[in-house]
Structure 1
Amino acid sequence: MIKPYLKYILPVILPLIILLLPASSFGIEGLTFVEQRVIAIFVMAALCWVLEPIPIYATSVLIIVFELLLISDNGLWFATNGDPQLQGLLLPQSTIMATFASPIIMLFLGGFFLAMAATKYRLDVNLARVLLRPFGHRPKNVMLGIMMITAVFSMFMSNTATTAMMLSILTPVLVLFPKEDLGKVAFALSVPVAANIGGIATPIGTPPNAVALKYLVDQYSVSFAQWMAIGVPFVIVMLLIAWLLLNYLFPAERKEITLDIEGQFLKTPRAYLVYGTFVSTILLWLLGGVHGMSSYVVAMLPVAVFSTFKIIGKEDLKNISWDVLWLVSGGIALGVAMDKSGLASNAINAIPFDSFHPLLLIVGASILCLLMANFMSNTATANLLLPLVAALGASMQSLIPYGGHVVLILAVTFSASLGMSLPVSTPPNALAYASGHIKNTQMLKVGGIIGCIGLLITFAMLFLLNKLGLVGV
């Protein structure tokens, strides 16, 4: 157990030591002063995200500020010690500041606007009511319906908001189960598990997906529809496995349950505008190859519509998850610094990766990501690993015969969302655990099994899709 005071000291002391060490001590040939400072910023970020002496979104803000101060062309006066030749190594301040308004941030902002409007006009609850009706009253079938609806909502809404909504729907049902009935545990776990898995299906489903998009550009570009073509089948398979696992581990003794969800679809002009905008945005995301607009451009349409017609007002803007946007932007800034400074490629070149089998690298990086994501924010995990993984994949195209760059990034990204073994692993887990119906050991067992199975399915799926020429070509 780390001493409490060390979590405040280590993120300060270690980066300072790195800054003071001679460049030759890092074992990277030709290490520049900019790269050395990026290493210090990376270590500071990693320690802050793991130890959490400050909020994780605040760490992202610090990353951007320290980059502006230490490695930008308009930073502190001692950045180059007055040497004009060193000035050329610095990053443009506009490049660093642009991470606050990256197209990926705008994509997430559009998703938040859709989610807020759907919640405000009760589209989510009414859809849940209608879609759960066909699943009857048998606990096993009702739980499958809940998991499906939760996963679908998590594709386009915040996983945390989806979990909170679905748990509120389940609350009156859970109290009907006898104390010793394990079915209550299955129902309580089904919501966070489905929310965590469902977010994998779309680029806006979970922040790690947005971080991955930063590295899936140019010849490696993956559109919204292409991502869903990969993510949705994966989510369907994982949901089925999770449902079978929960029923096997926690069988319900109660033979019948009833979900009483009240409400009806609103029929006001603004409500119809919300419904139409929601459907239109999703269709435009899926049909990007037809109309030519990128998913980032499409994401701005609901922002414009809902703002113009006062569906989302000034007070609603305060409820946007700005911390998530800042967290993602910090990860993007860290990746930009590692890439533009040359540190990522130099670090990869300094390690003899060509002596390892390429598939071993894919498996090793994914397992590392899964382990880290269980103990810290999956977004922070993706922010730390994906810049290195992207540089590794790009440098090994000739060595990885299975479309290394795209496969490697997708495998690691999916792994980040599969880390769900502990209450601290994801916000949906924390909400479900707070309900009081789940024990730590029960969550650990389910999350561990799903994580391991999910990794195997990820590898098999990406390998098959690449062989069919659909990924990594």
Structure 2
Amino acid sequence: MTDKQGYCFHRKLGLPLGVVLFVAALLLPTPEGMTTEGHRAGAIAILMATWWMLEAAPLAATALLPVVLFPLMGVLDAGEVTGAYGNPNIFLFMGGFFLAMAMQKWNLHERIALNIIVRTGTNPSRLVLGFMLGTAFLSMWISNTATTLMMLPIALAVIGQIKQRADGQGIENFPVALMLGIAYAASVGGIATLVGTPPNGVLITQYQGLSPDAPEIGFFQWMLIGVPTAAVLLPVTWILLTRVLFNFRDLTFTGARAEIKGRIQSLGAMNRGERIVLVVWVCTALAWIFRADIGLGVLTIPGWRNIFPNPAYVHNGTVAIAAAMALFAIPVDLRRGEFALDWNWAKRIPWGILILFGGGLALARAFTSTGLVEWLGGKLVLLDGIPPLFVVLAIALMLTFLTEVTSNTGTTAIMLPILGGAALALGVHPLLLMIPATISASCAFMLPVATPPNAIVFDGGHVTVPQMARAGILLNLIGVVLVTLVTYFIAVPVLGIELGQMPAWATQP
């Protein structure tokens, strides 16, 4: 769900409702088997969940509640709470945001997108594919909101040209398919990498928050899961939009190539700033991928971090901040004192997302340290005996449709600790439940309020709510099935998940 102008009814309701539920939860007797601290942590979680899901307060502001309430209510000490906001994975996203901001400063993202579009082809159907590929690729590395905002004026210009110069039937369908294609591709592309979308960041911080011995999810490991997911969902979306729902096969148009070429020419030759950012970006991506050992059957590619005295100390966040420091330090024009990235641009990164990661991790720590995770998991014994496949399918279905009307980041921040605890109680690997929840949180396609890209293209005109809902419901259901299959047939072998067994680190005292 995305922020909208004004303060609507559900937000006005959310503030007092959260407080009422919080007080009511505290006044109830502590349930049998739950610790007093766990009871208080649960009440705080109810308050945060209500405010997050109804967006009664800014998401980042709600994420700061643990800093105040956990120490005051004896749940966690202040040092442990605030330490959650300095987790290494938060610095991974911070560095990634700095890198994305440098790309935007020099318009490198627009050059990349336009060159992808012009090389894909410019008949109407392939034009939609080109926009989707360009949007998805950029969304792997930068904010899907920023990507959509950049692609929108280019798409509107092409739509204007087509309305003036195109021939054939389906001219009214092309704008709908193009706009929806951009919105959906922005969400799908974010699935592919750890830094592509905030729910992925929530997963990696909260998974390791379950136990200090929980292994890290590597950047390359996630790409082995996320890239195939996006690679299947993207063409399926394209076919659905251009061949099934909004057919314009008879439409002919030859002016798109000139429009795109004109925009590329307006950017001029690649300047020094763009070249610096491109080199740093490529080096950073390679450093993320090859940081740790990569096992390929009997072959193992050693990670570059092994050359350092303590390889385990070198985190993806280390790489991200090193890249950011390079951008701050490499000059573009010394005479003018201009560098690849300056603070005027850097300060525009979404700091609130970083705070939200910290709040989610603080919540997960409270769930674990107070025993609330085990208590919640014990209450889910009714699920014991149900095949894990159906549990995964149910989780994917629930998160997909829940995030149509709630914040996907806030929802994952609340749900992942609960699912992690439920997995341990059921005797299965936590990632078996946490991964489908995370990916499904990025698969809300039905409503304008579901994601920022949906809202942006809806506000741009050419798409009605019924049209978005018609396409979105089909994609939601396709996404549920795909996420279930990806979890079982890709995530399980890639991450070494043994079905029906808890990992060794989870069984250690």
Q: TM-score, normalised by structure 2?
A: 0.83
**Which residue identity is paired with 1:295?**
N
Matched, 1:320 2:349: yes
Aligned to 1:291: 304
SS in 2 for 1:174: helix
Aligned to 1:264: 268
SS in 2 for 1:320: coil
1:102-148 deviations in Å (ceiling 9; x for gaps): 11211111111111111111211111222222222201111111111
Matched, 1:303 2:324: yes
Q: Distance in 2 between matches of 1:246 and 1:331?
A: 36
Matched, 1:127 2:112: yes
Q: Distance in 2 between matches of 1:384 and 1:271?
A: 39
Aligned to 1:100: 85
177-186 vs 428-437, which moves further? 177-186
Q: Distance in 1 between matches of 2:423 and 2:161?
A: 52
Q: Distance in 2 between matches of 1:3 and 1:296?
A: 37
SS in 2 for 1:176: helix
Matched, 1:191 2:161: no
Aligned to 1:460: 485
Aligned to 2:199: 208
Instruction: Report how many residues are paired.
Output: 445
Q: Distance in 2 between matches of 1:5 and 1:135?
A: 47
Offset of residue 381 of structure 1: 1.2
Offset of residue 354 of structure 1: 1.9
Matched, 1:250 2:243: no
Q: Structure 1's 466 and 439: CA in aligned 2 closer, same or farther, altered over 3 A?
A: closer
Q: Distance in 2 between matches of 1:219 and 1:332?
A: 14
SS in 2 for 1:463: helix
SS in 2 for 1:376: coil
Q: Structure 1's 392 and 275: CA in aligned 2 closer, same or farther, altered over 3 A?
A: same
**Which residue identity is paired with 1:188?**
M
201-210 vs 457-466, which moves further? 457-466
Offset of residue 46 of structure 1: 1.4
Q: Distance in 2 between matches of 1:467 and 1:34?
A: 35
Matched, 1:10 2:23: no
- Name structure 1 gaps, 5 residues minimum: 72-89
Aligned to 2:166: none
CA RMSD of aligned residues (A): 2.1
Aligned to 2:300: none
Contact preservation (8 Å) 2:34, 2:371:
no
Aligned to 2:310: none
1:369 to 399, 418, 423: 399
Contact preservation (8 Å) 2:205, 2:357:
no
Q: Structure 1's 280 and 242: CA in aligned 2 closer, same or farther, altered over 3 A?
A: same
- Calculate percent identity across the aligned residue pairs: 32
Aligned to 2:54: 51
Contact preservation (8 Å) 2:67, 2:78:
no
Aligned to 1:81: none
Q: Distance in 2 between matches of 1:318 and 1:286?
A: 27
2:42 to 36, 39, 42: 39
246-255 vs 377-386, which moves further? 246-255
**Which residue identity is paired with 2:65?**
L
Q: Distance in 1 between matches of 2:492 and 2:409?
A: 30
Aligned to 2:501: none
* Higher-RCO chain (CA-CA 8 Å, sequence separation at least 6): 2
Contact preservation (8 Å) 2:377, 2:426:
no
Offset of residue 355 of structure 1: 4.3
Q: Structure 1's 264 and 53: CA in aligned 2 closer, same or farther, altered over 3 A?
A: same
Q: Distance in 2 between matches of 1:135 and 1:4?
A: 43
Matched, 1:443 2:468: yes
2:29 to 22, 25, 36: 22
Offset of residue 471 of structure 1: 4.3
Q: Distance in 2 between matches of 1:381 and 1:359?
A: 22
SS in 2 for 1:156: coil
Contact preservation (8 Å) 1:422, 1:440:
yes
Contact preservation (8 Å) 1:126, 1:264:
no
Offset of residue 31 of structure 1: 1.9
- Name structure 2 gaps, 5 residues minimum: 1-7, 164-169, 293-302, 306-313, 331-338, 499-509
Offset of residue 387 of structure 1: 0.5
